[in-house]
Amino acid sequence: MKKFVTFMLCAAMLAGGTLGVSANDYAVMPISEDLLIMPAMPDIDTDLILELAKNPTQEQIAAVAALYGIDVEDVLSLLEVIEIPDFDSADELAPFIQYAPLSATDKVLVLGDSNACGYLLEGYTAGAVTPTENSFGAIIADSLLMKGQTAAMYATPGATADDVLDLLSKEQVQVEVAKVSSVVLNIGGNDLIQGYWKILDNLSLWETWTSAEGVQDLVAVLAASYAAMDDTQKAALGAAAAKVTEDTIAELNQIVAQLQALNPKMKIFIIDVPDVTASFAGVENEALASLLGVISAQIDAVNEGIEAIETAQTAKNKQVTHLSLDGIEITYQADGIHFSPDSHKAIGEALAKQASKAVKTYKVRNLFILF
Q: How far apart are CA 366 and CA 181, in angstroms?
A: 17
3-class secondary-structure state, position 319: coil
Q: Parallel, antiparallel, or unpaired: how do β-strands 106-112 and 182-186 relate?
A: parallel
Q: Is the alpha carbon torsion for 87, 55, 123, 113 positive or negative?
A: negative
> Does some domain include residue 337?
yes
> Does some domain include residue 46?
yes
Q: The pTM is what?
A: 0.73
135/22 same-domain check = no
The predicted-structure confidence for 106-121, as pLDDT tens digits, reads as follows 999 999 999 999 998 9
> Does some domain include residue 282?
yes
Residues 362-367, mean pLDDT to the nearest whole number: 66
155/65 same-domain check = no
Neighbours of 148 (CB within 10 A): 8
> Does some domain include residue 208?
no
121/73 same-domain check = no
> Does some domain include residue 153?
yes
239/322 same-domain check = yes
242/135 same-domain check = yes
> Does some domain include residue 325?
yes
Number of structural domains in the chain: 2
Q: What region, left, alpha or beta, does residue 213 occupy, with left being phi > 0 and alpha being psi -120 to 50 degrees? A: beta
66/182 same-domain check = no
57/133 same-domain check = no
63/115 same-domain check = no
> Does some domain include residue 91?
no
33/120 same-domain check = no
342/237 same-domain check = yes
Question: Residue 362: CA atoms inside 13 Å, Cβ hemisphere, count?
Answer: 21
pLDDT above 90 for 185:
yes
The predicted-structure confidence for 287-337, as pLDDT tens digits, reads as follows 777 778 888 899 999 999 999 999 999 999 899 999 999 999 999 887 778
pLDDT above 70 for 3:
no
Give the phi and the psi of residue 322 in degrees, each rounded to 5.
-85, 115
Q: Which residues form the domain of 340?
A: 106-191+223-370
Q: How far is CA 296 from CA 54, 223, 224, 288, in A?
A: 41, 14, 18, 12
Whole-number pLDDT of residue 339: 93
pLDDT band at 248 (very low <50, low <70, confident <90, very high): very high
> Does some domain include residue 203?
no
313/169 same-domain check = yes
The predicted-structure confidence for 161-180, as pLDDT tens digits, reads as follows 999 999 999 898 999 999 99
User: Domain holding 272: CATH number?
Assistant: 3.40.50.1110
Mean pLDDT estimate for the chain: 75
Candidate from 23-27, 89-93, 305-309, 322-326 with smallest mean pLDDT: 23-27
179/310 same-domain check = yes
User: What's the one-letter identity of residue 93?
Assistant: L
Highest mean pLDDT among 28-32, 50-54, 70-74, 202-206: 70-74
